[in-house]
Amino acid sequence: MTVTEAPVNAAAARIERLREATADAGLDALVATADESIAYLTGFRPLQLERFFGVVVRAAGGGGVIVPRLDLGQVAAAPESLERVSYDASSDGLPELAGLLSGARKVGVEEDHIVFARSSALAVHGLELVPAGRVIGDLRARKDAEEIEAVRRACALVERSYGFAWNVLRPGMSERELNVRIEAFLRAEGASASHSLVLFGANAANPHADPTESVLTVGDVVCADISACLDGYWGDLTRCATVGPPSAWAREAWALVRDAQAAAIAACVSGTPARAVELAERRILETRPDLGELLHGAGHAIGLALHEPPFLVPRVETPLAAGMIFTVEPGLYQSGLGGIRLEYDVVVRNGAPEILSTLPLELVELAGSM
């Protein structure tokens, strides 16, 4: 659990924006329960196991943050507009939540997070629960200047991990060993959480495969997707390498994915529907079906969560807006050969989009000897 995600003044302003949005949505109150939403509003990111944590914001004023008593000290820096409410082991926190909602009727909840049992318990108190994840999600989606810089710093940390990875990786090393070493590097450099997914050769044709004891051999293509959370915000980058000179397939697939990524980044303009970004890359990738399959969308928003909405997929019409940050990560996957994916984190501006990383976009050639 950490308490560094949001300065007090920023969190206080977010509470008031959420209060306005709650009223505009016709709600009496909103209950935020997702870890990232609680961090966004209080600066405290909980570790949710069996215990309840939540933030209540009432449209007419007031609200509170509810935590187990053992975590009460963690919310000392939460905005003054939030009452601190704690509970001991004799309670599950829901009576305290109901108390903060006393007099409210129509209450918004983060429908993708709150569990059925807790929703049912609140309904017993006569509350009408309304899906309202979008209300707080729309606020979280548009990052302020401090949040953008936090993602930039996280990207810089991930960049350094690539220097480490390419330096230590040699034929004979296993996927599992490399991923463990990268995660250890990231933690030593200050990451509070990290995810390294580096796959070799044919394994990378399955983009979310688990790293195995498969060892790197000459001729392999390496697909390296590395992410890290620093000071509460995530950075996420993907690059590729070959062991020895690249094959014709690797060269051609990499160049096509690079061009698709450039088109998708150029489409990250305020007012553009999210699906249009995916379409921009798809139009290019589908010109060469012989090079591999398209197995995923163009990317996702990133911030306090590694994956958060809006998502850059065909079904999402959400218009992009200044301050939104997305991963843009087209890929091609060829069974038996591997995968090529390239990823930047990109912030939507009022003009041209901005890439939040300086990591070169190149097909790295690793030494083919031990």
What is the per-residue pLDDT across 187-214, written as a single tens digit (0 to 9) for each?
Answer: 999 999 999 999 999 999 999 999 999 9
Interatomic CA distance for residues 302 and 167, integer angstroms: 28
What is the per-residue pLDDT across 165-174, written as a single tens digit (0 to 9) for each?
Answer: 999 999 999 9
Question: In which residue are the tokens 């509460």 written?
Answer: 232
pLDDT at 282: 98
- Which residues make Cβ contacts (< 8 Å) with residue 62, sequence separation at least 6? 81, 83
Handedness of CA 8, 13, 15, 18 (dihedral sign): negative
Give bridge partners of residue 130 from the DSSP assignment. Answer: 108
DSSP 279: H
Which residue type sits at 57? V
What is the per-residue pLDDT across 290-345, written as a single tens digit (0 to 9) for each?
Answer: 999 999 999 999 999 999 999 999 999 999 999 999 999 999 999 999 999 999 99
Question: In which residue are the tokens 């953008």 written?
Answer: 148
Q: Judge whether 343 and 329 are in contact, CB under 8 Å.
A: yes
Interatomic CA distance for residues 222 and 50, integer angstroms: 40
Which residue type sits at 268? C
What is the per-residue pLDDT across 27-39, written as a single tens digit (0 to 9) for each?
Answer: 999 999 999 999 9
To the nearest 10 degrees (0 to 180), the angle between helices 8-24 and 35-42 is 120
Q: What is the mean pLDDT of residues 95-124?
A: 93
* Domains, the chain, ordered by start: 8-141 (3.40.350.10), 145-366 (3.90.230.10)
Give the Å distances, CA to CA, from 75 to 49, 65, 78, 105, 232. 18, 8, 5, 27, 16
**Where residue 8 falls among pLDDT bands split at 50, 70, 90?**
low
**Where residue 262 falls among pLDDT bands split at 50, 70, 90?**
very high
pTM more than 0.85: yes
- Residue 3 predicted with pLDDT over 80: no
Phi, psi of 354 (to 5 degrees): -120, 130
Give the Å distances, CA to CA, from 105 to 16, 23, 123, 124, 326. 20, 13, 10, 12, 36
Indicate left, alpha or beta for 43 from its phi (over 0: left) and psi (-120 to 50: alpha): left
Q: What is the mean pLDDT of residues 262-272?
A: 98
pLDDT at 49: 84
Question: In which residue are the tokens 């509810």 written?
Answer: 66
Which residue type sits at 311? F
Q: Is the bond preceding residue 310 a cis peptide, omega within 30 degrees?
A: yes
Give the Å distances, CA to CA, from 22 to 26, 32, 110, 119, 269. 7, 11, 12, 19, 28
**Where residue 367 falls among pLDDT bands split at 50, 70, 90?**
confident
What is the per-residue pLDDT across 208-254, written as a single tens digit (0 to 9) for each?
Answer: 999 999 999 999 999 999 999 999 999 999 999 999 999 999 999 99
What is the per-residue pLDDT across 9-18, written as a single tens digit (0 to 9) for each?
Answer: 899 999 999 9
Q: What's the whole-number average pLDDT of the chain?
A: 95
Which residue type sits at 230? L
- In total, the chain counts a number of residues equal to 370
Interatomic CA distance for residues 277 and 123, integer angstroms: 40
pLDDT at 4: 47
Kindly provide the residue ranges of all beta strands, DSSP E only, lying in the chain, ordered along the sequence.
29-32, 54-58, 63-68, 83-87, 106-109, 128-131, 193-200, 221-230, 233-243, 299-301, 308-312, 325-328, 331-334, 338-341, 344-347, 354-355, 364-366
- Between residues 1 and 274, the one the model is more confident about: 274
Query: Coil, strand, or helix at residue 174?
Result: strand
